[in-house]
Amino acid sequence: MNCRFVLTTCPFCGCGCQFYLQVLDGEVVEIVPCKTDEISQGKLCIKGRNAFKFIAHQDRLKTPLIRRKGHFQPAGWDEALDTVAQNLDRLKKEFGPDALGFLSSAKCTNEENFVMMKFARAVISTNNVDHCARL
């Protein structure tokens, strides 16, 4: 058996808690809190403690999908991003920038949320931006 520990950052919020993924024969089997992490101080919330369960889930998407003739089909990243850009541009021209809205997530860092807000306001020209963790 080949067992190793990989230090990583929790994907479930913007706090940035760190933990070790215990990898056994190429499969993540457990989360071990990082005792020296200044943020989590060696503790993890329930989400962080179970953060590995989605990695090998059978329903996890592993490639972008594009709807063609009513059905989702696998696509490359370049094609998927081009499709998103073209459709955003088309919708903005057809219905105006305020027809578009952007939702961000507490799973993102503050910097990623800031980029989303800047994209909505500077590129699309809308203030329709919201966040799931607003108070």
Which of 12, 9, 10, 8 minimizes the C-alpha distance to 105?
12
Predicted pLDDT at 134? 55
Q: What is the pLDDT of residues 54-91, one digit of tens each?
A: 888 899 899 999 999 999 999 999 999 999 999 999 99
Confidence of residue 107 (pLDDT cuts 50, 70, 90): confident
Question: For residue 33, how many C-alpha atoms fall within 13 Å in the half-sphere facing its CB?
Answer: 16
CB 91 within 8 A of CB 51: no
pLDDT tens readout for residues 6-54: 999 988 877 889 999 999 998 999 999 999 999 999 999 888 888 888 8
According to the model, what pLDDT value does residue 123 have? Answer: 96
Give the C-alpha distances (Å, rounded to integers) separating 36 from 19, 28, 41, 47, 97.
10, 21, 6, 19, 46
Burial of 120 (C-beta count, 10 Å sphere; 0-12/13-18/19+)? buried
Alpha-carbon span 91 to 74, nearest angstrom: 23
For residue 70, what are its two tokens?
Answer: 């009513």
Question: What domains are defined for the chain?
Answer: 3-49 (2.20.25.90), 96-135 (no CATH)
Torsion angle of alpha carbons 113, 85, 96, 72, nearest 10°? -100
pTM of this prediction? 0.68
How many other CB atoms are there within 10 angstroms of residue 3's CB atom?
Answer: 9
